[in-house]
Amino acid sequence: MDLTDKVAVVTGASSGIGAATARALAAEGCTVVAVARRGERLEALAAQAPGIHPHVADVTDDAAVTDLVERVERDFGACHVLVNNAGVRSHTQFRGPDDVGDFIHVLDVNLVAVARCTAAFSRLLLASAPSRVINVGSVAGKIGLGSPAYSAAKFGVVGFSEALRVDWGQGDVAVCVVNPGYVHTEGFPQDRFLRIPVLRRLVVSPEVVAAAIVEVARSGQRERTVPRWYRTFVVLRHVVPPLVWAVGGRLLRR
């Protein structure tokens, strides 16, 4: 799909992968509606490229998402690419009843909001076809290492994307999932890896993920791991799971 003059909506666009993706899509000629809660960040982002239009919304709010869809349809008349990127990290371990609230919050932002936005935009995506839904999952959604809440949410994103692709069939709305590994962002600083020279290669920049999202927007590829060599870990998780748990556990403990 040629991205020139297409309309893209990117959630979680105030920083990190979302901001980098908004810039990358705008550079390809897209009109980009950048969505997040922090309006001042979105205004600063929009000042960097004339094709970026800020929209303040909380993707966990049904009414706010409805307003977003109405604004996109009214002002731009189409949605060719929906990038469901909004996400938060878990700030607690899972030790008992006190941690359930955090667990539910992480699932609401990282998983339920993906379904909410996809459902809300479904009619406009179909009317704008060929179009793409690109859900930002994670390697943590393929290998259960790290925060239980975050991994559960990202496993859900991967499963939702795969099942929705089948449910929607082989039509003109392609459902895609991009699974980044460790990415250095404001919300996920990855300090424990960056301070160890031999582990720094595990961490990539938001721009690397954004470039992959642009490629998926063009191609409609079903699934993409970023960087590509992280796919090795996913394969090993199924072939020799004890090795993955042992090595992964040691890395996280360090």
Give the E-state strand segments of 92-166 in sequence order: 131-136
Tell me how crowded residue 165 is: count the other CB atoms within 10 A of its CB.
18
For 87, the 3-state DSSP assignment is: coil
User: Whole-angstrom Cα distance, residue 18 to residue 127?
Assistant: 25
Nearest to 82 by CA among 245, 194, 188, 213: 213
Maximum Cα–Cα distance across the chain: 53
User: Whole-angstrom Cα distance, residue 107 to residue 47?
Assistant: 32
Whole-prediction pTM: 0.91
Query: Could you give the residue numbers annotated as active site?
Result: 150
Nearest to 34 by CA among 58, 16, 8, 59: 8
Query: Which residues of the chain are modeled with pLDDT < 50?
Result: none
Residue 166, pLDDT score:
93
Q: State phi, psi for 128 to the nearest 5 degrees.
A: -95, 0
Give the E-state strand segments of 78-233 in sequence order: 81-84, 131-136, 173-180, 182-183, 203-204, 223-226
Residue 190, pLDDT score:
65
User: Whole-angstrom Cα distance, residue 133 to residue 232?
Assistant: 25
